[in-house]
Structure 1
Amino acid sequence: MYPDTLQLIEEKMQEGVFPGAVVRFIESENDENYVLGNAQVEPTIVSMQEDFLFDVASLTKVVCTTTIMLKLKEAGKVSWDQSLHSLLPDFQNETITLRHLLTHTSDIQTYIPNRDQLNAQELRTAYLNLQPGEELGEVVKYTDAGTILLGFLIEKLYQKDVIDVFKQEVLQPLGMSDSLFLPQAPYDKIVPTEKLSDGTILKGMTHDPKARVLAEHAGNAGLFTNMKDLSKFAKMYLKLGRVSDMIYLHDKTVQELLCDQTPTGNGARSIGWDLKYSPLDRSPLLFHTGYTGTFLMLDVIKKSAFIFLSNRVHTEDHRASYVKHRDEILVCYLKERMQRYQK
C-alpha cells in the first residue's frame, strides 16, 4: 500500500532509530499491517509480535482524556470556554479555560521545584496551583499539564479514579479489550522502554515520570495498548463516531475537530489533536504523537489512517534525532499518499 514509507521505516530501524515497530496503513476498508524488528534488545533479544502492548505515552491524551472531554461536552456537562476553576474550584486560577488546556494555549508555567521528589498528593497540589503566563490564549506551547489537570476534573465529575473512567467510558465501549493501565506481572507481552540511570529497564511501568507518580490519577499518559485496539479507536473516528450500530460520538463532534480550535484560530491545534494538512488538497489531518515512539495520523475525510508503534526509547532516549527521523517518515508517507490519490 505504501512501499516507499515502509522501506524508509525499515531503513530507520536498521540505522538503530528504534529496535522494532508495528505499523498499520488503513485505506477505507483495507488494512495492511507490518511487524518489524525486535521488541526488546536488553537484557535479552525478543522479536516483535503484533499483539504486544506498547506504553503509548501521550497517545493516552487523545485516546482517553480527549475522548472523555468530547463525551462530556456532548452531554452538556462542559463547554470549551468555561474556566477550569468553575468546574474544579481546587484549581487556583480563574482565567484558564478548557479550550486553553485542550489546545495547549494556556501558557501555563509548569516549573515545579523538586518535582521528581514529590508523591502523588504533593504533585497534585503543585499542579492545582500553577498559573498562566502573559501569552494566555495567544501561543501554542505543548505541555502535559493540561491533560493532568483535566484528569483531575474528570475524577471530580465522575467521582472515580480517572483510569477507571477511561476503562468504563472508552476501552470497554470501543472493544479495546487488550488495553490496560498499571499492568500487573507477568509482563511477557509488554514492550520495554528506557533503561534508567540505576540500570532498571522499564517494562510494565509507565515511562512518563509524572504519570508514574500519579498512577491511577494520571490523565496525560499511562495507556498500554496494541495495534489491534488502536485500530479500533482509529476506525471509530473514520466512521464519524460510529462503532458497529452504536453512535459513540456524534458525527458533528468528529467533524468539528477538523477545524482549528485555538482562541486565535491560527494555532493548528484542535481539541486535543494536532492539525496537519494534506499536501494534496490542504484537507485537515488529525495527528498526535507519544514520547516513547508512537504516533497516530487520521484522515477522517478520506477514511485513512497511519498508525506507528515503536519503543524508540529502548534502551536510550535520543529524542532530538528521533524527531527528525519521524518527520522524514511522515513526509514520505504524505508524499506517497498524494501520488496514490492522484492516480
Structure 2
Amino acid sequence: MAPTTPALERVAAAVDAALTPLVRDGGPPGLTWGVDLGGERLIRALGHRDLDATLPVAEDTIYRISSLTKPVTAVAALTLIEDGQLALDQPVADLLPELADPRALVRPDSPLTETVPARRAITVEDLLTFRLGHGMDFATMGAPNPLDDQLATLGLGMGPPAPQRHLPADEWLAALGSVPLRCQPGERWLYNTGAELLGVLLSRVTGVSLGDVLHRQVLDPLGMPDTRFSVPAPSLGRWGPCFNAADPDGTPAGQLDLFDPADGQWSSPPPFEGGDAGLVSTAKDYLTFAAMLRDGGSVGSTHVLSSERVEAMTTNQLSTDQLRAGGPSPDGSTGWGLGVGVALGDPTSSVVGSYGWDGGLGSAWRNDTARGLSAVLLTNQSWMSPTPPAVTESFWSVLAAQVPLDD
C-alpha cells in the first residue's frame, strides 16, 4: 500500500530506515507494520517468513497475534452487554456453574487446604478487569507455590499459547473450578485467565463457538476476514513459522529457534478457542479494529460499540494499591481497563499510546488519542522477556518523533 500523504511518506521512510537493519540482522526475520492517522492508512512489510529468506512477508501476511486477542474478546463481550445478553455485575456462575461458591486461599502461597469462602461472587466485570481471583501474578512469577504446582498437574500451567494442546473448554473449566482462587474476587489484578474464562462465557451465553461470536459481533461487521482461530488452507501461502530469539533478553544472536512451524499449532481448528491468545490476524485487519475503537466504536457507517462503552473500556479500572501490588507493566506505567492496557500518563513527544496491548509472539498495538493515531506491529519472532525487543521499541520511538501531538 503506497503512502497517501506527505506525512505518511515521512513516517514510512523513518520507520523503514529504523527497522530494516534489525530485520536484516534477524531480529525478527520478518514483520508487517501499519498506521492509521486520522483515517489515512499505510501498511508496509519488511523481511521474510523463513530463515532462508526465500518467502518475503507482505502487507497481507498472517501472524499469530497472541494476547492482542484479549481486546477483541473484550469488545465482543461489551457488545453483548449492550445487547442485554450480559451485565457487568452479573455473577458468572449463572452461566459457568463450575465457578459457583468459590473458595480463596488464605494467602497466595498457602497450602491448598488453607482456604476461606469467597467474600462475593465472581462477576462479568471481574473477568474483564482481570480481578476474578484466578490468573498469573506478575509480582511473584517464577516463585514456587502449591497452587501453581496443582495447576500444572491439571494441565492448566501458564506458558506460551499452544492451542492444539489446550484442554477442551468444558474439561478446562471443570479443572479450574476444582482449585481455590489465588485471592479474593476484586482484590488483585492477575493476568490472562480472565480472558480465557470470558471466551467460554461468551460461547455459553450465545450457544455458539467463541469464533462464531467474534465473527458475528466484531470481525464480520468490521470486515476482518483474516482474523480467526486457525489459518484456512487457501490462506496458507500468506502464513509462516514463528521463531524464538536465541538470547533470553530477546536480542537475536545468530541462529533462531523455531517456536511454531507453519503446519503447527494454528494450522487446524483448535480444541479450545482461546479468548486470551488464540487469534491470527493481519495488519490491515487489526488496524481496522484499532481505528474503530479510536473513533468511538464505529468505522464509517459500521457501528460496533457505543462511545460510552469504548470510554469505559479504555479507562484504567485499577486502584493505586492494586497497581502497586503487581499491575500490567513492570515500570508501573500501565493500568488496565476492560480487556485492554491503559497508559497512566498522557502521550508525550517521546511516548506513543493512550491504550493498547502487546502479544508475546511478536505483536504490538497502540491507539494514541492525542495524535489521532492507530498503529500495529506484527512480527514472526516471539518476545523472550517482559521488556519489549529492540524492534518494538524502535517502532514506537520513530512514531513518537514523526507524528506530532495535536495542539
Do the two structures share a fold, i.e. TM-score over 0.5? yes
Against the structure 1 CA distance between its residues 230 and 68, is the aligned structure 2 distance closer, same or farther, given a 3 Å change threshold? Answer: same
Answering whether residue 384 of structure 2 is matched by residue 319 of structure 1, we say yes
Q: Which residue of 2 aligns with 1:30?
A: 40
Cα distance, 1:135–1:22 mapped onto 2, change above 3 Å: same
SS at match of 1:79: coil
SS in 2 for 1:221: coil
Q: 1:214 aligns with which of 271, 280, 302?
A: 271
After superposition, give the CA deviation of every residue in 1:228-265 in whole Å (9 maximum; x if it has no partner): 21122122122211132232211111122332123669
Q: Distance in 1 between matches of 2:352 and 2:376?
A: 19
Task: Provide the rounded CA distance (Å) in 1 between the counterparts of 2:364 and 2:37.
Answer: 17
1:260 and 1:266 in contact (8 A); partners too: no
What CA deviation, in whole Å up to 9, does each residue of 1:298-338 have, x standing for no partner? 1245421111010113xxxx512872425633651464157
2:83 aligned partner: 75
1:131 is aligned to 2:180? yes
CA displacement 1:115-143 (0-9 Å, x = unmatched): 17774253332234343223653433322
Which AA in structure 2 matches 1:226? T
- The match for 1:289 is 358
What number of residue pairs does the alignment pair up?
Answer: 330
Question: How big is each residue's C-alpha offset from its partner over 1:55-114, in whole Å with a ceiling of 9 and x where there is no partner?
Answer: 211211112x11111112212333333332234222243633323322223341563215
Q: Mapping of 1:222-241 within 5 angstroms?
A: 222-241=278-297
Q: CA deviation at 1:273?
A: 0.5
TM-score normalised by the chain length of structure 1: 0.82
2:70 pairs with 32, 45, 61, which one?
A: 61
- Structure 1: tracts of 5 or more residues without a match: none
Name the residue aligned to 2:162.
none
Counterpart of 1:20 in structure 2 is: 30
Give the structure-2-normalised TM-score.
0.71
Distance in 2, Cα, partners of 1:309 & 1:323? 13
- Structure 1 residues 189 and 269 mapped into 2: Cα distance closer, same or farther (>3 Å)? same
| Cα pair 1:55 1:191 within 8 Å, conserved | no
1:203 to 262, 265, 269: 262
Structure 2 contact 243–258 (Cα < 8 Å) conserved? no
Partner of 2:401: 336
CA-CA distance at 1:169 after TM superposition? 1.8
Match of 2:202 in 1: 154
- Distance of 1:296 and 1:109 partners within structure 2: 23
Verify: 1:275 aligned to 2:315, yes or no. Answer: no
Contact 2:241 2:259 in 1 (8 A): no
Paired residue for 2:221?
173
Q: How far apart in 1 are the matches of 2:93 and 2:37?
A: 42
Task: Measure how far apart 1:24 and its partner are.
Answer: 1.0
Evaluate the alpha carbon distance shift between residue 322 and residue 188 of structure 1 in structure 2; reply closer, same or farther with a 3 A threshold.
Answer: farther
Q: Give the RMSD, CA atoms, in angstroms.
A: 3.3
Distance in 2 (CA, whole Å) between partners of 1:89 and 1:35 is: 46
Larger radius of gyration: 2
Partner Cα distance (2:189, 2:198) in 1:
17
